[in-house]
């Protein structure tokens, strides 16, 4: 099987990126990370990429006259590296509509809740888990979805739940969900690499025979 060329965008530590890199090295992912971009120069995900000899680039907003100029430069590099699937692995930047148009149903994101709960504007990072805690949810989980112009509103590819105990704090919930993220994101990438994903009227159908 030909390996899917993916570009990964990060903003922080890049633990989800590491799960992808591990999958590639172990042979469980029919993919190749050909580019890593970050909107923060101190994102440790960049170092993870460099350790594997993967081309990296920083796209901090302050280094460009406009946000559009920044996004156009990012898109140009994705294309130059032959990226076929864009993976947002803890990336907190907004994906512009013109990039979504260039990669229709070819940009995926991992979100640390069971969408549509605790998703959308304002729900990112620890704020998601704080919302779960404040509401007294009995379960939480993670969602891998395609990126659309609606924040966290694209077709859902995979979801997995985890039980929340009464004594769990926000950090406990975060760690439980993170374990799910680390296996769910590579699984979604592999399904796409195998051509087993089809979007029908805004819903994802997975070919179980693959």
pLDDT in tens, 73-86: 999 999 999 999 99
pLDDT tier at 158, thresholds 50, 70, 90: very high
Instruction: Point out the residues that are catalytic.
Output: 111
Same domain, 125 and 206: yes
Helix (H) or strand (E) holding 78: helix 67-80
Query: Residue 93 — pLDDT band, cuts 50, 70, 90?
Result: confident
Residues 17 and 81 in one domain: yes
Instruction: For residue 201, give its domain range.
Output: 112-142+157-210
List pLDDT tens digits, range 164-191.
Answer: 999 999 999 999 999 999 999 999 999 9
Residue 85 in contact with residue 189, Cβ under 8 Å? Answer: yes
149 domain-assigned:
no
Rounded alpha-carbon distances, angstroms, from residue 183 to 38, 74, 95, 154 = 22, 27, 24, 20
Instruction: Verify that 1 and 97 share a domain, yes or no.
Output: yes
**148 is a domain residue:** no
Q: Name the domain count of the chain.
A: 2
Please tell me the pTM assigned to this model: 0.94
């Amino acid at each position: 099987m030909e390996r899917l060329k993916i570009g990964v965008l990060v903003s922080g530590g890049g633990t989800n990126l590491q799960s992808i890199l591990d999958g590639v090295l172990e042979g469980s992912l029919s993919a190749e990370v050909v580019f890593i971009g970050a909107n923060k120069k101190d994102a440790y995900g960049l170092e993870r990429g460099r350790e594997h000899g993967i081309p990296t680039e920083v796209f901090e907003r302050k280094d460009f006259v406009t946000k559009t100029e920044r996004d156009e430069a990012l898109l140009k590099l994705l294309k130059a590296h032959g990226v076929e699937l864009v993976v947002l692995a803890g990336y907190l930047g907004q994906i512009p509509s013109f990039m979504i148009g260039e990669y229709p149903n070819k940009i995926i994101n991992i979100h640390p809740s069971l969408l549509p709960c605790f998703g959308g504007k304002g729900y990112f990072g620890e704020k998601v888990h704080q919302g779960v805690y404040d509401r007294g949810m009995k379960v939480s989980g993670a969602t891998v979805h395609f990126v659309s112009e609606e924040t966290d509103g694209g077709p859902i590819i995979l979801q997995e739940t985890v039980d929340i105990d009464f004594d769990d704090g926000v950090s406990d919930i975060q760690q439980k969900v993170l374990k799910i993220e680390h296996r769910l994101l590579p699984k979604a990438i592999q399904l796409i690499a195998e051509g087993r994903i089809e979007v029908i009227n805004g819903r994802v159908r997975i070919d179980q025979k693959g």
